[in-house]
Amino acid sequence: MRDAFHDDLDAVRETLVEMSGLVGHAMERATTALLTADLKIAEEVISDDSKIDALHHDLDNRILGIMARQQPVAGDLRILVTSIRMSADLERMGDLADHIAKVARMRYPSTAVPPELILTIQEMGSVVKLIIAKTSSVIQSQDITVALQLEKDDDEMDRLHRKLFITLLDDSWSHGIETAIDMTLIGRYYERCADHAVSVARRVYFLVTGEYASDQA
């Protein structure tokens, strides 16, 4: 019974790693669709979001089943409860990639990003790709040192988010309110995706140590 229980816990972790991989791929493709006005890629990201949602719902149901069968306590219960919360974070990250792809689709055949913000969005896409990859690694390895490093990676995303707003608020902005709203939302989607990734890393820290990572930052 105990061996079966640990197999269940390993399967939960592997599903979380799978979800994080799908989220990273979705965000990377959403960024490509946004910057190149590629309708096909945007549609694929939007369609594939259902796969992440399905994994999220299936994982939650499996965890509840494990709890009912095994009635875990202490550290094992912490693993399962924390995994449910990580699943929710990852599902939300997938939704944010979906939102970015929908902006690309809405503005097609035009490119949603004006020239002076292309580099900033490219950088935001690169940073979120790195953050999600590290998050996936943290889930797999449960390396709390790497988990804490994600806070610093998120600082870079926050810097880029501020840089985007400086451009939007500059008197030289000439692209109108509609584009400004688009870019405000897009910047928020990237920033929130990074925040959810940091939340996952903090949950891994808690899973391993029983303490909150914010107390250690």
* Rounded percentage of the chain residues whose pLDDT exceeds 90: 89
Where do we find the tokens 């061996």? 3
Q: In b/e form, how buried is each residue of 130-161, taking b as 16+ CB within 10 angstroms?
A: bbbebbbbbbeeebbeebbebeebbebbeebb
Q: What are the residue ranges of helices labelled H in 71-143?
A: 74-107, 118-141
Mean predicted lDDT score pLDDT of the chain: 94
Q: Identify the domain containing residue 193 by its residue range.
A: 2-215
Provide DSSP, 20-72.
HHHHHHHHHHHHHHHHHT-HHHHHHHHHHHHHHHHHHHHHHHHHHHHHHHH--
pLDDT of residue 214: 59
Return d(Cα 111, Cα 93) in angstroms, integer: 23
Return d(Cα 70, Cα 127) in angstroms, integer: 40
Return d(Cα 70, Cα 185) in angstroms, integer: 44
Is the pLDDT score of 150 beyond 50? Answer: yes
Return d(Cα 63, Cα 125) in angstroms, integer: 32
List the CATH number of the domain containing 14: 1.20.58.220
The more confident residue out of 69 and 99 is: 99
Return d(Cα 189, Cα 11) in angstroms, integer: 30
pLDDT of residue 29: 98
Residues 127-136: pLDDT tens digits? 999 999 999 9
Is the pLDDT score of 215 beyond 50? Answer: no
Residues 159-177: pLDDT tens digits? 999 999 999 999 999 999 9
C-alpha distances in angstroms, 33 versus 23, 53, 99, 137, 179?
A: 15, 21, 12, 26, 16
Number of domains in the chain: 1
pLDDT of residue 6: 85
pLDDT of residue 67: 93
Is the pLDDT score of 100 beyond 50? Answer: yes
Is the pLDDT score of 119 beyond 80? Answer: yes
Return d(Cα 145, Cα 107) in angstroms, integer: 41
